Amino acid sequence: MSAVAGGPVRVALLGFGTVGAAVGRALVENAGLYAGRLGVPLELAGIAVRDLGRPRDLGPVPGGLLTDRAEELVDAADVVVEVMGGIEPARSLVLRALGRGVPVVTANKQLIAQHGPHLHRVADEHRASLDYEAAVVAAVPVLRVVREALAGDRITAISGVVNGSTNFVLDQVARHGMAFHHAVARAGELGYLEADPTEDLEGLDAAAKIVILARAAWGVDVTLDDVQREGITGLDDEDFEQARGTGQVIKLIASAWRSGSSEPPRVELAVRPVRLGADHPMAQVREGRNVVQIESELAGVLRLSGEGAGGEATASAVLGDLMGAVRRVLTSRG
């Protein structure tokens, strides 16, 4: 650790897109609040970006914090927050930090889904922490419930609407009678879908999230290849008319469930469009909101819902993980 006992905790922020900007603003605007809660200041040591020349709305964030020297920034940090997305250079930078014993907080669902087990091994080897609550339905604390609140219970199934972009599309069709292709276009205009919407529409985003949840719930080494995946691009207006005619709603549901009683258990995973009765709790999830249902032997059925995407909602989860990481840094200082 490079932190000085009693001094500020230096935070490296990797990425300044929608989520990174929200995290950066919060660290600057709420500096007094965080210092009061932690007992020491948080110092935003720098913000790594790919293109320094790109125009950005920095708000209260000092422009001098921007750098394209990500490795140097990581090497000088006490905690690293990765919100740049993609696999590389995010993976290499996260490994660099963990290899130094530096805690990492990330919102990068594909990175965790594809490389999470290896990252955890490196973190364990160097006594670092790796947290990613924001990688699964943003501000809704699903991973915390699975790992902590239900640690003494046995989870039997997890399911939910975990992709706000596709839910917005399906909700526009179901509630407003919008043609499917028009709903997709509208979602793109409002920023629910990226310029390349494949990850959302083909169910890859939802698949990554259910993989992460299954690992947390059952400790199994499942991968994206284990997910029976079907997106919503194969749907047409006739599918929605048939559902409407029978009082049903189509939702993209991600699910994972125990199969058998062995330990470790056999786990099945799926992402697919499902017809639900209009009164089903998941059928009533509107626009970009998410809901996750957890079934366990002792607690029964739990449902958590809220904003599953967006800069501020995701930043809330990132900052929550950051507070935990900083407390571990302070503990290590002695």
Query: Phi-psi category of 292—alpha, beta or left, where left has phi over 0 and alpha has psi -120 to 50?
Result: beta
12 in Cβ contact with 73 (< 8 Å): yes
Contacts of 32 (CB under 8 A, 6+ apart): none
Q: Based on C-alpha coordinates, what's the Rg of the chain?
A: 21
Q: Is 257 helix (H, G, I), strand (E, B) or coil?
A: strand
101 dihedral zone (left: phi>0; alpha: psi -120 to 50; beta):
left
Residues designated catalytic:
209
Give the phi and the psi of residue 196 in degrees, each rounded to 5: -105, 100
Q: Which residue is associated with the tokens 């947390």?
A: 216
Q: Which residue has the tokens 């364990």?
A: 124
Asked if residues 9 and 332 have their Cβ atoms less than 8 Å apart, the reply is: no
Question: How far, in whole angstroms, is CA 332 from its chain's centroid?
Answer: 27
